[in-house]
Amino acid sequence: MDNATEVFQPLEADDPPLVAGYRLAARIGAGGMGRVYLSHTPGGRPVAIKVVRPELADAPAFMHRFRREIKAAQRVRGAYTAELIDADADGVPPWLATLYVPGPSLTEAVERRGPLPVAAVLWLMAGVAEALQAIHSKGIVHRDLKPSNVLLAADGPRVIDFGISLASGVTSHTETGATIGTPAYMAPEQASAGELTSATDIFALGQTVAFAALGEPLYGEGPSVSVLYRIVHSEPDLSRLPVQLRPLVARCLAADPEDRPTPEEVVEWCRRQLGPDADAGAGPAVWREVTGPELIVPGPVPEPTPVPTLPLVPWPLPAEPAVRRRSGRRRTTLVTAVAVTAGALLLTGLTWTVMDAVDRLRDRAASASGTPGPKASSSVSEGGGRTEGKVRSSVTPTPSATPSKAPQAVAYPWQMLSEKNSLSIKEPVERKNRNGDIRFVCGQTCSLESRTSVMSMHMGKPGATLDACRTDLDITPSHRLTLTLVAAGSEICVKHPSGDIALFVVQVKSTALPDSGVSFLAGDLTVWRAP
């Protein structure tokens, strides 16, 4: 973890490009509660964006904890904590942003280089104790202090993740009797679901410091039940610790919370052990030895070039003489459209021939120019099949003398489709039930289905226009669209029986486990309302 390529991973297909206006630059990590991304403030300062997993966003107990994390982080300010910048527990998905700390966690640092030298452990202990001072001064108990929640910046440690913190004096029984925390770093009273106080964090501090000095948990590894039994019923073996550290670690790990030192006492004891170095500013040099070369953080992601969502040329195209001047251009457009059509036909598995598409596009071009084209022999029925002897077209054969009113584009950002809800082209767009026009269905594979509207995946250049969607929907309409080839950035055109046409731009696709019940599709919806 000594270079940026190991720390910052490129965004994957199911990662959103931005969260609540924060444009994401890289993926930092992922865990049980969600994913963490690198982004930047408008002024360019790096921030870490924590995004909650969709299935957890629907879990009341977890969201209660997440809101508590936000409130705790808003209250805590200190030199050794990561400051909260922004958050929204009611967002879709919920998220929070803290200042990014450019450095490995204590767990990662020990895995990379082994146990830390005594001087580094003393600086670590003093810094984490000072962070606990700031936390406890707000009446908050962290409850999950451990090596992975301690980041090693170039100027000292940072304590992060207040996800299960609570106000002092409240027992863990408030969580319906559940014991919350990481077993290897719990205090005896926490392991036995007793009363939690600031002394609980001091016990975890002693265990964290022991891990830094030994390179492994003080109470050993194995099943959680075995580790907790040793914490509650046995004395820790401190003989493996460096002699300088044993007295204070022993006090931190006292079975009786009353016998443990306060954070202020820990800081003072560490300063005495460090001697003159404590006042000589030797800490940064020690941390550089532990953290390695300074991490180069990627810069902000530039804003994408805006893509117009409405056509710049009115439809249909003007008649003579402009059509003659553009005839060569129309032929080029026709060839390009045929190539796009051929790719769409292969992907969707329809049995149309490319010549069908050519005939349709020729009819449209002829209709726009006022020159009759060859009569088509078949077209698409409402169910997506072929119907002999009739032609359906959304193009008016003869332009009206009075220009028709242009359809109005209405944006509905960040719409999520799961197996519990649906979307409608007509307002209200979001439906909490399955009665909307478009439903998300997952079995062996996942797909979008509709009994009323037809859909088509846009295979051309990104930024489909109204006319592009009209063409797609005339050529490859279907009431069912499989999501096998859909990814972040894919564009899906939809046509409602009312004449409204919509464009759904996929931002996040989560269908890796179709039978899990937690698959979903999220994106931005634009609807062109028929006049």
Total length of the chain: 531
How confident is the model at residue 92, as a pLDDT?
86
Pick from 168-177, 302-311, 475-484, 504-513: least confident? 168-177
Contact 467, 454 (CB under 8 A): no
Half-sphere exposure for 302 (CA within 13 Å, toward CB) = 3
How confident is the model at residue 282, as a pLDDT?
62
pLDDT tens digits, one per residue of 160-212: 876 545 544 333 333 333 445 578 898 999 888 788 899 999 999 999 999 99
Q: How far apart are CA 225 and CA 228, in angstroms?
A: 5
What would the mean pLDDT of 512-520 be, rounded to a whole number?
62
How confident is the model at residue 309, as a pLDDT?
54
Q: Is 144 a catalytic residue?
A: yes
Which of 14, 144, 161, 474 is flagged as catalytic? Answer: 144
Kindly state the percentage of the chain with pLDDT values over 90.
33
Give the predicted TM-score (pTM) of the model: 0.54
More confident residue, 6 or 417: 417
Torsion of CA 454, 460, 463, 467, to 10 degrees: -60
- Beta-carbon count within 10 A of 406 CB: 13
- Beta-carbon count within 10 A of 398 CB: 9
Q: How far apart are CA 165 and CA 20, in angstroms?
A: 25
Half-sphere exposure for 95 (CA within 13 Å, toward CB) = 24
More confident residue, 517 or 428: 428
How confident is the model at residue 118, as a pLDDT?
94
How confident is the model at residue 358, as a pLDDT?
39
Contact 448, 481 (CB under 8 A): yes
85 SS3 class: strand
| Burial bucket for residue 144 (CB in 10 Å: 0-12, 13-18, 19+) | buried
Task: Give the DSSP per-residue string, 220-247.
Answer: --S-HHHHHHHHHHS----TTS-GGGHH
Contact 49, 36 (CB under 8 A): yes
